[in-house]
Structure formats: C-alpha cells, structure tokens
Chains A and B, each alone.
Chain A
Amino acid sequence: MRVTPASRLSIWLDQHWRSAYSSYLEMRRRPLATMMTLLVIGITLALPASLLSLLKISQSVTGEQQQSASISLFLKNGIVNEKALRVAADLERRPQIDHVELLTSADAMDEFRSHSGFGDALDALDDNPLPNVLLIHLLPDNSSMDIKKLASELKQETVTDSIEYDQGWIERMQAITQAIRRAVQALGFGLGLAVMLIIGNTIRLEIMNRREEIEVTRLVGGSDDFIRRPFLYIGLIYGLLGALIAWLLVSILLMLVSGPLGRLAELYDSTISLSAFSWQALLLLIPIGISFGLAGAWLAVSRHLSSINPE
C-alpha cells in the first residue's frame, strides 16, 4: 500500500468520519436517554444565554438614552443674545460636547405660549420672565462620570444660573445592569461547569458500557487515540446539539417577551430589535457548547480509559 500525503489525509478523514458516525449511532441506540441528556444540556445553556440577551436589550435601551443625553444650561438674567452665542461657541470647543443650541427667552416664550395654553395669561406679563437657555448636546461616547464632571464644571461658570440634566435614572439603570451582568456571568460560568460534568458523566457511563469493546480494541492494537476518539466525538455532538437546543429555547423566549418589551420600549421613545433566531447568537453558542462538550468528554476519557486494560 503506497501512502501519499493525499491518501494519508483521506485515511485520516475516513477514520474521523467513522468515529463520528459510530458515536452518532451509539447515541441513537438509546434515543430516550440521549434526548433527555440533550434537553438538560440545552436548558442549562439556555439559562445564562437568555439572561444575557435580555441584558443586551436593556443595555441597548439605556445606550440610546445616553446617546441623546443633553444638558440644559440656564443663563443668568441680563446675559444678552450676543454674549450667549459667544459662550455657546466657547462651550463647543470642549471635547465632550457635540454642539450647543441657543434657546433665547423669546423663543422659549413662543414655545411656551403655543404648548401650555397660558397664552392670554402670558400677555399680562410686563416682560419675559424666561431666561436664555443653552441646550448642550453631548457626544455619545461620554461615560456618566464624564457627564457628571462636565455638569459640575458648567455650574461654576459665571454666566450660569443653574443647570439641569436627567442623568440619574440612566446611571441607576446602568449600575443595576452592571450588577446583573456580573451575576449572570458567574451563573453562566457555574452552569457551563455543570454542562461539562453532565457530559463527562454521560461519557463515563458510555465508557463503562463499552468496556468489552475497549478491551478487545486494545488487544488488536488500537492506540489510545483510536480508542479515545469516538468518546470525544460523543462529547462534541452533545455540546453541539445542546447548543442548538439552547438557541431554540432562547429564541422562543425572546419571541414570547417581544410584545410586552416592545410596548415598554415605546414608552421610552425607543425601539428594541429583538433577535430571536439570530445567526450571531448561534455562532456564539455553538463553539461554547462544543468546547464544554469536548472538555467534559476529555475529563471522563482521561480519568477512566486508562483503567480499562485487557485481561
């Protein structure tokens, strides 16, 4: 038998294909047990995955709010329009600020008149009580710390009467999200470990069931690699199919919550793009599932295979 590199590759592929296929057949021989194991793995993976996607949604909402963040700077009385414009131009040079809009007291009065319904009452006033206001639009990449610092600096300006910005709820939301993210990450780590142990234990049982086969394979000169391979494939297949199940479960969950969440988003003037059945999520879940599956299989194989030697 002449062995060229090409035929060596085809032999290698052939051996791997045979191992993978025999593992698949082995799993199909006990469909109920296999299905249950797969469901356990799927649910275990789906739990952190669904929490993470919900977190991602809440983050996209707060992120949007952050982007539209702005500060209203109320100028002291007596600061006339030309001076206000100069102040605005000065402010625009600051790195945190995108652009500054001047809302003159006259503009404000007009707006107030048309929106409030107090038009007649306002006519009774001698002069305009509203101050000139600078609407400071911030750049989107400011952290809440940056905004806070900027706000306190603006407060010190001599022209400033007072400032106003509604940053509080965003900060609180971010803090909560941050805390939940940490918890989900820890939970995900723990559940990943659980998946590994579930697969490891399944494969331990598989090894025990196939003890005779392993012994005979050793007798006819099967290498450790050869004996190990089908068990690693079982781990890989469990991880892969478990990830697929997890993806389906997460997608179904996202579909279920998309209605109520959409209405909630409307209330905040925001849109939520729920990504049920998203390819990105699948592409993330599959390698995670496969690595946990392989790790669990490796754990079981390295612990139990060497103890099986032919009599």
Chain B
Amino acid sequence: MIHFENVSKRFPGGHYGVSNITLQIESGALAFITGHSGAGKSTLLRLIALLERPTRGQLLIDGRNIGRLQKNEIAAHRRKIGLIFQDHRLLSDRSVFDNVALPLHVRGFPVREVGKRVRASLDKVGLLKKEKVLPITLSGGEQQRVGIARAIVSRPPILLADEPTGNLDPELSREIMKLFIAFNQLGITTLIASHDLELIKKLDRPVINLQQGELT
C-alpha cells in the first residue's frame, strides 16, 4: 500500500531529512517508526501526507507516484489519510464537535451524517460527553484523543501519528496506543512515530528504525 523506493528528501541548504529509503508497508499493517529526534521520523510521515515532496526516488501509495501529484490533487490525496500530531493542532475557537466535524465538512457530508459520525468517533475515544466544550478546557490526554477522533472520523485507509504520546504520562500513553491498535484491527494501515521504546517493545509490532535519515 505504501511503497518507498530509494526515496530521499533533501532540504534547501543540503540537509537530508531522509536518505535513500526503501520500504514497503502492507495494507492493514501497524508499524512504529523509532529513532532519535532529527533521525527523520517526522519527515517520513510528512512525505506520505505530502507535506513534503521527495527530492529523489519514488513514493507509491496505492500504486500512484505521489511525488508527481499536481498541486490541486494534494487535497484529494490527504483525504485518504488521518493525521495526528504531538501538539494536536486543534482549533481553539471551535468546540470539540466542530473540530472533529471538519474533515467531514471538507468532504461534503450531509449534516445528519456528520452528527452521527462525529458522535460515533467521539464515543470511540471516550469523549462523547465533551462535544460542546472548547479544546482548551480539556487535559492534554483528552485533547490528543480529540485529535485522534478527528483523524478517524472520515474512516481513512491510512492513519499517521507523529509522537502522539510525546507529552503524556505512561498510563495515558498506553491507553492511546491501545486506541491505535483497536483502529488498526478495523483494517486501517497505521504508522506511529514515537521514541517511547519501552512502550513499543511491550506492544510487539514491526518497528522501522531510523538513524540520521537512513534505515537501520
């Protein structure tokens, strides 16, 4: 499903984000990406979401070379992907409901369908009762769960999480990871960048380890 073929990302100034990566991730898999900060974990995920374009090599998703996509095709590509960030990236002036509903609005879902899906999604992350509040009033773990609800609400085939447990204590981190495993069991291809090696070891899933932008 996701196929890196000698992919490099060289930033202006000569620094490499990732270098000569060849990697195949099957549909429905769950894998962790580990490595020190600056090893290229984020760049790998950002390439898949087309937040960066590869400077060399081929990045195929569902058989399409996404490095060649036109600017006006990027939005459609991103609709296949749920993105989760360490800093949540929630809109502070919108309620939890409206934050989670945004991916459905950009896809033109009818209103009734939006309500149903948003509530189902909030229910899965255990925040059904918080739909009306502003994200700022929630704890860090809850905000991250809102971010996850937003990522899965449109049922995308791919889920990418960049340090989703970075700011959370071990107990919360484990709960978040359990959520990802549950979604993966529904068939969503999931990639999680994390440096929480201890937690990852316990979960016993494939690990992609990066060092200075290269696979090890």
Residue count of chain A within 8 Å CB distance of chain B: 23
Bound: A309/B115 CA distance, A: 29
CA distance A208 to B135 in the complex (A): 22
Among candidates A7, A220, A310, A311, residue contacting B106 with C-beta atoms closer than 8 Å: A220
Tell me whether B91 and A219 are in contact (CB under 8 A): no
The listed residue with most A CB atoms (<10 A of its CB), out of B106, B113, B154, is B106
Decide yes or no whether A213 CB sits under 8 A from chain B. yes
A223 to B92, alpha carbons, bound, how many Å?
22
B14 CB within 8 Å of chain A: no
**Are A226 and B78 within 8 A (Cβ)?**
no
Q: Is the CB of B110 within 8 A of A220?
A: no
Evaluate contact between B108 and A15: CB separation under 8 angstroms. Answer: yes
Q: Are the C-beta atoms of A11 and B110 separated by less than 8 Å?
A: yes
A18 to B102, CA, bound (A): 12
**Cβ distance A156 to chain B, nearest Cβ, rounded Å:** 75
* A1-B113 in contact given A18-B105, A213-B91, A220-B150 (Cβ < 8 Å): yes
**Given known A213-B91, A226-B106, contact A220–B78 (CB-CB < 8 A):** yes
How long is the Cα–Cα vector from A217 to B106 in the complex, in angstroms?
Answer: 8
- On whether the beta carbons of B106 and A221 are closer than 8 Å, the reply is yes
- CB within 8 Å of B: which A235-284 residues: none
Chain A residue with the shortest CB-CB distance to B73: A223
B76 lies within 8 A of chain A by Cβ: yes
Chain B residues near A217 (CB, 8 Å)? 102, 106
Q: Is B111 an interface residue, CB under 8 A from the partner?
A: yes
Residues of A within 8 A of B113 (CB): 1
A243 to B115, CA, bound (A): 37
B72 in contact (CB, < 8 A): yes
Interface residues on B, range: 20 to 34
CB of B83 within 8 A of CB of A14, answer no
Say which residue of B75, B110, B150, B154 sits within 8 Å of A223 (CB atoms). B75
A29 nearest CB across to chain B (Å): 9
Whole-angstrom distance between the alpha carbons of A220 and B83 in the complex? Answer: 7
A10 within 8 A of B: yes
A-B contacts, CB under 8 A, total: 60
- Interface residue A107 (Cβ < 8 Å from any Cβ of B): no
Check B89 against A216 for contact (C-beta < 8 Å). Answer: yes
Q: Which residues of B contact A10 (CB under 8 A)?
A: 110
**A224 CB within 8 Å of chain B:** yes
Distance from B79 Cβ to chain A, minimum over Cβ atoms (Å): 4
Which of chain A's residues has its CB closest to B153's CB? A220
Residues of A within 8 A of B49 (CB): 219
Q: Does B201 contact A (CB under 8 A)?
A: no
Q: Is B164 positioned at the interface, with any CB of A under 8 Å from its CB?
A: no
Question: Is B202 in contact with chain A by the CB < 8 A criterion?
Answer: no
On chain A, the residues within 8 Å of B154 by CB distance are: 220
Considering the complex, give the chain A residue whose CB is closest to the CB of B89.
Answer: A216
Q: Is B103 an interface residue (CB 8 A)?
A: yes
What are the residues of chain A within 8 A of B78 when measuring CB–CB? 218-221
Contact check, A7 vs B110: say whether CB atoms are below 8 A apart.
Answer: yes
User: A7 CA to B113 CA in the complex, in Å?
Assistant: 13
Complex partner residue of A219 from B89, B92, B105, B110, CB under 8 angstroms: B89
Q: Which of A1, A18, A212 contacts B91 (CB 8 A)?
A: A212
Asked if residues A221 and B110 are in contact (CB atoms below 8 Å), the reply is: no
Q: Is B172 an interface residue (CB 8 A)?
A: no
What residues on B are CB-neighbors of A218 within 8 Å? 75, 78
Tell me the minimal C-beta distance from B155 to chain A in angstroms.
Answer: 11
Query: Given that A216-B91, A219-B78 are known contacts, is A224 also in contact with B72, CB under 8 Å in the complex?
Result: yes
Q: In the complex, what residues of A have CB within 8 A of residue B108's CB?
A: 11-12, 14-15
Q: Which chain A residue lies CB-closest to B75?
A: A223
CB distance from A72 to the nearest CB of B (A): 75
* A222 adjacent to chain B (CB < 8 Å): yes
- Residue-wise, chain A 3-18 has the 8 Å CB interface mask toward B (1 for contact) of 0000100111011001
Instruction: List 21 A-B pairs, Cβ < 8 Å.
Output: A1-B113, A10-B110, A11-B108, A15-B105, A212-B91, A212-B92, A216-B102, A219-B78, A220-B83, A220-B102, A220-B106, A220-B154, A221-B76, A221-B77, A221-B103, A221-B107, A222-B75, A223-B76, A226-B75, A226-B106, A311-B51
Extra pairs beyond A219-B89, A221-B76 (14, CB < 8 Å): A1-B113, A7-B110, A10-B110, A11-B108, A11-B109, A15-B105, A216-B90, A216-B102, A218-B75, A219-B49, A220-B83, A221-B107, A222-B102, A310-B51
Closest 6 CB pairs of A and B: A221-B79, A221-B78, A222-B106, A223-B75, A220-B103, A11-B108
